[in-house]
């Protein structure tokens, strides 16, 4: 496996910098960039013309991650050449939030192949039920296949995001690549660092990822009371105060849910993933130190899954809410991950509206919010 990376600061630099990747002869280009880059005229066409045999996979971001740390308004392109790994690509149009499960099934059918070992998937960051998407893919490829990736961002505007796949750049496509081959080394880790506070509130009315009532009251009203003056900044300020999902026994399930939108008329909250109708929710907050420690634990979880004899790539997908909390210290969580992998992995990734990963090796894949999720991809 051979990996090489370039960082584009201005969209106009793309054509000039791409030739430096030609010696890699990439099978896959991983692309994470700001909306300005992905929506620039001719972006995907320039990539396709330069690398007609490579699969394209990526999305727009709420911040780009590279070995130097965190950037805004840039585009990181990582070229991967494989000796033995085989790839299958898929893309499907997402007709709306209610189409999420079916879209996952369509995508799963495209990438399902004999010997499938793992899946990388990226979806729009708005108008999507990320949990249903993951469940749809799993229903086709099976729960034993690890699925990792995330939902696109648009610098915390929550208006229009983009993905990049075999059909080019689109604001309504879910894209994926399936990886197979005995020489594939695929590891993952996911950890948060947030702490719950306040009382547990019973979910009394919800539908999928729409939360209507807590303890019999409109969910938006209760949430605004907790946020106080921060409520004026909704939905963006909701990234600072996600929900912890609790079971019927009030014990944490390990899942966190971020607010993607509010409906003032219905008094409801739209969350990034599904909510249990029989469960409870609790507000959360975090400190920078705890989030950095969480990122380090995610890296350690991925690193302990395998012996990294050969250098590979580490794909970091971290929630935009973490970026907002950490502010000018956000580079620290990337540095913590880099310290774990050392020279065994080239870092790439982005800040997202949802992170996709199993909890642990052998566990089912879930949509996470407010986590640092890491995928290590390598080859023997």
- Strands in 116-123's sheet, in edge-to-edge order, are 86-93, 173-180, 116-123, 147-151, 354-358, 365-368
**Rounded mean pLDDT, 268-289:** 91
CA distances from 229 to 215, 234, 261, 262, 269 (A): 23, 10, 17, 16, 18
**Rounded mean pLDDT, 313-322:** 94
Contact 192, 370 (CB under 8 A): yes
Cα–Cα distance for residue pair 331/66, rounded to 1 Å: 10
CA distances from 378 to 56, 113, 186, 195, 375 (A): 18, 20, 6, 33, 10
Q: Provide the pLDDT for residue 308.
A: 60
| DSSP type of residue 35 | H
Cα–Cα distance for residue pair 213/202, rounded to 1 Å: 8
Q: Is the bond into 235 cis (omega within 30 degrees of 0)?
A: yes
pTM: 0.90
DSSP for 266-317, written as a single string: TTEEEESS---TT-EEEEEE--HHHHHHHHHHHHHHHHTTS---S-EEEEEE
Where in 9-115 does DSSP place strands (E)? 28-33, 55-60, 64-66, 69-71, 75-81, 86-93
Q: Does 18 have pLDDT greater than 80?
A: yes
Q: Does 336 have pLDDT greater than 70?
A: yes
Q: Provide the pLDDT for residue 363.
A: 74
Helix boundaries (H) for 112-179: 130-141
Rounded (to 5) percent helix, strand, coil in the chain: 30, 40, 30
Token couple for 152? 């696109």
Contact 155, 35 (CB under 8 A): yes
Domain map (residue ranges) of the chain: 2-191+289-379, 195-284
Token couple for 351? 């800040």
Q: Provide the pLDDT for residue 10.
A: 96
- Strands in 163-165's sheet, in edge-to-edge order, are 2-8, 75-81, 28-33, 55-60, 163-165, 168-170
Task: Single out the residue of 326, 245, 314, 236 nearest to residue 281, CA to CA.
Answer: 245
List pLDDT tens digits, range 154-169. Answer: 998 989 999 999 999 9
**Rounded mean pLDDT, 327-348:** 94
Q: Does 82 have pLDDT greater than 90?
A: yes
Cα–Cα distance for residue pair 46/49, rounded to 1 Å: 5
Percent of the chain with pLDDT over 70: 99
List pLDDT tens digits, range 29-80. Answer: 999 999 999 999 999 999 999 999 999 999 999 999 999 999 999 999 999 9
Percent of the chain with pLDDT over 90: 78
Mean model confidence pLDDT for the chain:
93
Q: Does 307 have pLDDT greater than 90?
A: no
Q: Provide the pLDDT for residue 287.
A: 84
Q: Provide the pLDDT for residue 217.
A: 97
List pLDDT tens digits, range 168-207. Answer: 999 999 999 999 999 999 999 998 888 888 899 999 999 9
Contact 11, 40 (CB under 8 A): yes
């Amino acid at each position: 496996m051979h990996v090489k990376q370039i960082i584009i600061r201005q969209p106009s630099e793309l054509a000039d910098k791409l030739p430096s990747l030609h010696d890699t002869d990439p099978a896959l280009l991983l692309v994470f960039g700001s909306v300005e880059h992905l929506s620039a005229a001719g972006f995907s066409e320039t990539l396709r013309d330069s690398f007609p045999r490579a699969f394209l996979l990526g999305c727009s971001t709420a911040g780009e991650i590279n070995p130097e740390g965190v950037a805004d308004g840039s585009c990181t392109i990582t070229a991967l050449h494989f000796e033995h790994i085989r790839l299958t690509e898929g893309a499907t149009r997402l007709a709306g939030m209610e189409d999420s499960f079916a879209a996952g099934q369509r995508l799963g059918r495209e990438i399902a192949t004999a010997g499938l070992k793992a899946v990388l998937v990226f979806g729009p960051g708005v108008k999507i039920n990320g949990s249903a998407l993951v469940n749809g893919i799993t229903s086709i490829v099976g729960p034993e296949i690890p699925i990792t990736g995330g939902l696109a961002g648009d610098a915390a505007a929550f208006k229009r995001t983009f993905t990049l796949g075999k059909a080019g750049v689109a604001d309504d496509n879910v894209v994926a690549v399936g990886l197979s081959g005995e020489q594939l080394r695929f590891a993952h880790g996911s950890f948060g660092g947030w702490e719950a506070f306040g009382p547990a509130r019973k979910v009394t009315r919800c539908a999928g990822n729409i939360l209507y009532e807590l303890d019999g009251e409109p969910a938006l009203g209760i949430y605004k009371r907790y946020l106080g003056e921060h409520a004026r900044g909704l939905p963006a300020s909701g990234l600072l105060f996600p929900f912890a999902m609790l079971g019927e026994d009030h014990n944490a399930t390990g899942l966190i849910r971020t607010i993607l939108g509010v409906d003032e008329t219905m008094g409801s909250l739209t969350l990034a993933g599904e909510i249990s109708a029989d469960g409870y929710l609790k507000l959360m907050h975090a400190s920078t130190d705890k989030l950095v420690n969480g990122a380090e634990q995610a890296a350690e979880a991925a690193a302990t899954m395998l012996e990294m004899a050969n250098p590979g790539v580490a794909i970091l997908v971290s929630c935009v809410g973490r970026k907002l909390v950490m502010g000018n210290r956000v580079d620290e969580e990337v540095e913590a991950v880099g310290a774990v992998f050392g020279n065994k992995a080239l870092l790439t990734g982005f800040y997202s509206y949802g992170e996709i990963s199993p909890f642990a090796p052998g566990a089912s894949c879930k949509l996470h919010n407010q986590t640092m999720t890491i995928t290590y991809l390598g080859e023997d």
